[in-house]
Amino acid sequence: MADQEEEKVERRWPKLWRHPRKWYLLWIPTGGILMFVAGIIFWGGFNTVLEATNSEGFCLSCHEMREFLYPEYQETIHYKNRTGVRATCSDCHVPKPWIYKMGRKIQATFNEVPKKILGTISTREKFEAHRLELAKSVWASMKSTDSRECRNCHDLTSMDLAKQDKSAQKKHSIEYVRETGKTCIDCHKGVAHHLPEGYE
């Protein structure tokens, strides 16, 4: 009796360890797991690069930004203030919502990178010659989004109007904004960079 039991056990083990006849079926779960892991690695790398291109260091890697615009920005309240809260380049120039951020990155790739390569604003003289055109482009973009990037930090409903002068109180009131359709950039041009020559 014991011999028969041992013989049955010995017959079961080879069946358990034998490769399945349809071995290609193992590829489906294995391939799915590998694709999932590859997707995580790709997304992690993509997001890391995306965030790196939003850093102040990345912006300053272009001498045009470092030499022409950064010194102006350092003079403003967005750079240094009593609370120590700083708005960096990407806070104003790159949208936070993912879909708009990607649109901005694509726009930069096909518009700003070629101009960098061609040296369109590589000298102070060239930069000043294009400053008004560049500023108008940024202002138009901000106007079209109702100054979305400004509103990430400045919320009308959170403002203490009593601490503002009479003109600012009026212009920051919800009623005034609704009536006029004005947005932050309509009044606050030149808050981070010098106004272009010839701008009225």
Distance of CA 156 to the CA centre of its chain: 23
In a domain, 72, yes or no: yes
Give the gyration radius of the chain's Cα atoms: 30
- Give me the pLDDT at residue 108, please: 92
In a domain, 193, yes or no: no
Range of the domain at 167: 157-186
Q: Is 78 found in the same domain as 148? A: yes
In a domain, 16, yes or no: no
- Give me the pLDDT at residue 30, please: 75
**pTM for this one?**
0.77
Q: How many domains does the chain have?
A: 2
pLDDT tens for the chain, 200 residues: list them.
Answer: 555 665 555 555 555 455 555 555 566 677 778 888 999 999 999 999 999 999 999 999 999 999 999 999 999 999 999 999 999 999 999 999 999 999 999 999 999 999 999 999 999 999 999 999 999 999 999 999 999 999 999 999 899 999 999 999 999 999 999 999 999 999 999 999 999 988 87
List Cα–Cα distances, 7 to 3, 17, 44, in angstroms: 6, 16, 54
Q: Is 171 found in the same domain as 144? A: no
Residue 156's nearest CA partner among 184, 128, 130 is 184
Q: Is 168 found in the same domain as 107? A: no
In a domain, 123, yes or no: yes
